Amino acid sequence: MAKKTKEIDITEVKKEVKKKAPTVKKKAVVESAGVEKVKKTAIKKVAKASEESLPFHDFQVKYYSKFTDFDISLFRAGKHFKLYEKFGSHVLALDGVVGTYFSVWAPNAQYVSVTGNFNGWDKGSHPLMVRWDDSGIWEGFIPHVGNGEIYKYFISSFSGEEMEKADPFALRSEEAPKTASIVWDTWYEWKDQNWMKKRHQHNALNKPMSVYEVHFGSWARGPESPDQFLSFRDMAPKLVSHVKEMGFTHVEFMPLMEHPFYPSWGYQITGYFAATSRYGTPQDLMFLIEEFHKNDIGVIFDWVPSHFPGDAHGLFKFDGTHLYEHADERKGFHPDWKSHIFNYGRNEVRAFLISNALFLLDRFHTDGLRVDAVASMLYLDYSRKEGEWIPNEYGGRENLEAISFLKDFNEAVYAHFPDVQTIAEESTSFGGVSHPTFTGGLGFGQKWMMGWMNDTLKYFKKDPAHRKFHHQDLTFSTVYAFSENFMLPLSHDEVVHGKGSLINKMPGDEWQKFANLRTLYGYMWTHPGTKLLFMGGEFAQTKEWNQQHSLDWHLLEYAPHQGIKKLVTALNKLYRTEPAMYERSFTGTGFEWIVNDDAENSVLVYARKGNNPKDDLIVVINLTPVPREQYRFGVTRPGNWHEIFNSDDEQYWGSGIKNAPTASEAHGSHWKSNSIKVNIPPLAIVVFKAI
C-alpha cells in the first residue's frame, strides 16, 4: 500500500513544536512559508509526532518517490516540462512525520548522499537510493528536515571521483561566496490577479512594448552604505515608482538566478531555479514582481540556456562525467566566456532547461523571457577558428540540436503560457527567428534588431558635417525591418567595456551632445518595432556603467539631464497613446518613406500608420545643427497638421523652435498630392498629426 503524504505549512508546524528531539545532535531549522495550507488539526498531529523523542535511526533516509512511470518516460524523452515539481527538495509529511524528499539526476554515480547541518555534513549517514528503472535518479525522504536547512549532494562517481554539489533544482541558495543549497519553497499568496487576467492585452504584438532594462544590484544602493545591496522588497517602492513615472510598459531584469561571480552580471548561473540570495528570498522577488503588476507593468527575465560556469559546486561534471555539457570541448566549451555549453542533444538536459523556463513563468508570474546569446547556440563555429569546431551531420555549421531545442522551448512556453513573450538576442541573419515553428521558424515572439542598433550608433557617433556621406546607415534598416518581429535595443552591452555611455558617444559640445541624444531617442521610438533602453540612459548617465556602483542619480539636479528624463517620458506617452506607433509595428503597411534621399541636408521624413488613416503620423528628423526653414514634404492626407512632439522643446533643454498648426496645400511633393512646409529645428525630431 502506498504511503500517505501531505504537504504541510511548515510555519504553522513550527508554532506547535515546543522542543527538539533530544537524541539528535542538530535538529533541522524550520522556517518561512510552507508549501500548502492545511487544517489546524493536521498541523497539531504532525507537530505532536515531531515533539516525541525518537531514536537516531528514525532520522535516516526512508524510501519515497514523487515520480510515476509516466514521469520517467517523459523525462527520458525530453518532454517533461515541470520537473521542478519532482526534482530537488520538497518538504512534506510521510506517515505523519514532517521531513524533506530529495531527488537528483546522477546516472553515472555509484553513491549519492545528502549532507548538511542536520547530520554534521556526514557523507555516509544519509545515502539516497537509486531508482530501479535505469533513469539515473537518486531519491529518498529524510524525516525532521525542513525549510531553511542547508544541504549539498555528496556524489561518488564510478571513476572514484568525489564531489559536493549544489542541488540543480534548489529553490534557494546560500549567499555567495557560500555555495550550499537551502530547502525552501515557492509558496506565495499572489495579489496580481487583475494583471494576469488582462496581460494578454499588454503583451500582444499590436500593443506598445517599451522595456526598461535593469541590473538590479547597481540600479541603486543604500544611501548610507554605497557598497550594500538593497533587497527586492526595499527597492520595490522606488524602482516601481520610477518605471511607472517614466511610462515604460515593461521592465527587463538581467539574470536574477543564483550566480557565484557578481561581475558576470548574472550570466554565469549555477542555480537555475533559485533567485539569487544577494537580494532576498524567492518570496521577496515575487513581492517585487507583484508590485510591478499592480501598476500595470510587465516583468521580463533574462534567461541563459546557452552556457554555464565550471564552478565545482555547479552543473559541470555533475556526476563525474559530462552530464549537462558536451565532453568534446569543440562542442562543449565556450571560448568567449570560458564556460560550458549545454548538450542540447541529451533529452534529459532539454527537459531540465525547458522546465526551468516554465518554472520562471509559472512560479514567478514572469511575463516574458529574453533568451541570451541565441547566436552562440545556433552555430557550431561561433567564435571558433577553423579546426576548432565539429560540423553537423550534413557538414554544415548550424547546430541542429540547439535549433530543435529552441523550437521545443518556444512551443512549450506558448502552449502553457500563450499570453507571454519570448525574445531572442540573436545577432546574425539566421532566418525565421520570430516566425512560427509550423512555418519552419524558431518560434520566438520577438528578436533583437542588432543591425539597427549597430548602424544607428555608428551614424550618431559621426560629426554632423560628415553624416551626409553615411545617410544609408539610417535608411537601410527598413529594407529588412519587417522580416522579423524586431525589438530595438540600446542595452547594457552598449555602455560597458570601454564603449562609454550613450551621451558620450554623441559628437559636439554639451548642447549638441544632448540634442543628438534626444534625436537618437526620438528616432528609436518612432521607428517600427518595440523598444528597450538600459537603465541610466533615461537621464543621460555620463559615466560608463559599472556593476559595482549605483547609477548617478545626482545628475538629475541638472537641467540637461532633467530634459532627457522628460523627453523619454514624453516619448513613452506618445508611443502608448498614438495607435500608429504600435498597431502595425511588424508589417510594412505601418511605415512609409516620404523623404529618404535628402542626404545633402541629412533630413528624413516618414509616416507611421495605424489601422485608421486618421491616426497617421509624420516624423521629420534633422540630423545637423543647421535649422531647415520652410522645408516642404508630402503628407499622407489633406488636413491641418499639428506638431504633437518636438525634441527641441525648451522643457527638454532644446532651443525652442516650434511650428504652429499648418494646413496642407494641394501642391504635389514626394509622390503625394498634398504637402506642407515646416521649420525643422537643429538636431531634432518633430512629429506631426492631422487634426
**Please, what's the b/e burial string for 646-682 (b: 16 or more CB within 10 A of its CB; e: otherwise)?**
bbbbeebbbbebebeebebeeeebbebebbbebbbbb
Would you say how long the chain is, in residues?
691
Q: CA nearest 308: which of 330, 324, 328? A: 324
Helix, strand or coil, per DSSP, at residue 595: strand
Contact 684, 519 (CB under 8 A): yes
Give catalytic residue positions.
Answer: 372, 425
Task: Locate 263 and state its grid cell.
Answer: 561581475
CA dihedral of residues 323, 326, 329, 334 (deg, nearest 10): -100
Question: How far apart are the C-alpha atoms of 561 and 509, rounded to whole Å?
Answer: 15
**Alpha carbon of residue 291 to chain centroid:** 17
**Alpha carbon of residue 640 to chain centroid:** 44
Question: How far apart are the C-alpha atoms of 134 and 473, rounded to whole Å?
Answer: 58
Contact 324, 352 (CB under 8 A): yes
Task: Locate 327 and state its grid cell.
Answer: 565532453
Q: Is the dihedral of CA 580, 584, 585, 588 positive or negative?
A: negative
| β-sheet with 617-622: strand ranges across | 591-598, 603-608, 617-622, 684-690, 640-646, 662-663
Q: In Å, how far are 145, 160, 328 from 114, measured between CA atoms?
A: 11, 18, 30
Helix, strand or coil, per DSSP, at residue 577: helix
Task: Locate 362 and state its grid cell.
Answer: 509559472
Helix, strand or coil, per DSSP, at residue 531: strand
Give the residues across from 325 on adjacent strands: 342
**Alpha carbon of residue 574 to chain centroid:** 25
Establish whether the linkage from the previous residue to 177 is cis, with ω within 30° of 0.
yes
Contact 267, 255 (CB under 8 A): yes
Task: Locate 493 and state its grid cell.
Answer: 552591452
